Amino acid sequence: MGSKAPIQVTAATHFPIKLTANNFPVWRCQVESTLIGLDLDVYISSVQQPPKQLTTEKNGSKSNPEYLLWYRQDQTIISAILGCCSDSIQPLISSATTSREAWKRLNASFASESRSRVISLKSKLVKNPKGTRSVTEYLQDMRTIDDELALAQSPVTEEDLLVHILSQLGDEFGTIVAAIKVHETPLSYSELFEKLADFERALKEQAVPSEPMLTTANYTARQPNRPSGRPDNFSQQRSTNNRFSNQQRNPANRTPWSSSASGGT
């Protein structure tokens, strides 16, 4: 704040991500990181109070040059913050007189510290099974809940987050879950992400060879039931020959025409 002219801060250049009702954590990170980089984060924090507006001298009070510089810089920051808010959010801070006041209003609106919100988020964290979602979708959803809890001033330790993730993966991940539980050193979230993604790919690769076998079995089941080897007409001819042979060996079984023919001879 010791420079002679305020640092120019604009929404288009410094805060390109527009604040909506659903992206406050990302938007807040953008604003904080940018202001820290410009050494202007003290304007929105409570670390440093603004200079006195007037200074007292022998001849009376006069405007404080440091306050004038602070005020100009602060108004530049307010303008940038207001410009990167969506139309529905701008009324929340349009009457704020300082960037710190605007910042507090936004945090109060989007980072509610109410107990009911914290309970709701924690309940969602422990009752969010993976189901049919991919590992990537599941872990990203769990991380989002974790971020929202941190935003509500009730952060979850990374170890607890990993426990909630592992306990809701499902039976098909039982092997790798058991291996991770006996791991000598704790895994980070990124390491767990990588291991679970690799395991999911392995499961999909193992499932591929079973498809041709299933197709062959279905094809075999659809074939008509008939004796193997000789064709059906051969079976019919063989049956006829057997009957004729039996009649020759057993006279009682002969037909009338066969008996007459024998008597005539």
State the 10-residue block means of pLDDT for the chain, 265 residues long: 78 95 87 95 86 82 90 96 95 95 91 74 95 96 92 88 96 94 91 95 82 54 54 52 53 47 44
pTM: 0.54
pLDDT of residue 48: 75
DSSP for 238-254 reads: HHHHHHHHHHHH-GGG-
Report how far residue 108's alpha carbon sits from residue 55's, in angstroms, rounded to the nearest whole number. Answer: 34
pLDDT of residue 27: 92
Length of the chain equals 265
pLDDT of residue 184: 85
DSSP-derived 3-state class of residue 186: coil
pLDDT of residue 7: 95
Q: Is the dihedral of CA 179, 183, 187, 190 positive or negative?
A: negative
Report how far residue 45's alpha carbon sits from residue 24's, in angstroms, rounded to the nearest whole number. Answer: 17
Q: Are 100 and 43 in contact (CB under 8 A)?
A: yes
Task: Give the residue carrying structure tokens 């990588």.
Answer: 194
